[in-house]
Amino acid sequence: MPGWIGYALGSALFAGVVAVSAKAGLARVSGDLALAVRTAVIFGLVAVHATTFGYWREAGRLSGRDWALLLFSGAATMASWLCYYRAVKLGPVSGVALVDKSSVLITLLLAFTLLGEPLTWRIALGATLMIAGFLVLTLK
């Protein structure tokens, strides 16, 4: 099993925990405040992690393009989280999580068109099954 799969499974596990704990924590506050608190915690923990392991030294290797792409990614993350927290505040977390995970399909499309990643029959089949599952779970 490739090493990245373990990290991807960890990401999925923690993402599930995030969804449920966020919904529970939104009972008496706006999604915007909840996002601000979450982001502050993330910033602090990531800064400690990067400092502890010396990752800040790598910053000199970033080109202007790298900085621009990472800044754009950060802005897109903020927009995604803002929408996510507002959706979780207003709707059922199970439904929000399902719709949110359709981002996998957007990621695949962008990876093929912008990064030139190969579209294999397995990926096409998996994406088709994901779309079918998404429709089964969300259409009434």
- Model confidence pLDDT, tens digit, residues 114-138: 999 999 999 999 999 988 988 887 7
pTM exceeds cut of 0.85? no
Q: How many CB atoms lie within 10 A of CB 39?
A: 13
List Cα–Cα distances, 70 to 16, 73, 99, in angstroms.
Answer: 25, 5, 25
Structural domains in the chain (count): 2
Q: Each residue of 9-50: pLDDT tens digit?
A: 888 888 889 888 988 998 899 989 999 999 999 999 999 999
Q: Specify the pLDDT at position 50.
A: 96
Helix (H, G, I), strand (E, B) or coil at 93: helix
110 lies in which domain range? 102-140
Pairwise CA distance, residues 81 & 72, whole Å: 14
Residue 96 resides in a domain: no
- Tell me, yes or no, whether 77 and 29 share the same domain: yes
Q: Tokens for 48? A: 């400690």
Q: How many CB atoms lie within 10 A of CB 84?
A: 20
Q: How many CB atoms lie within 10 A of CB 22?
A: 20
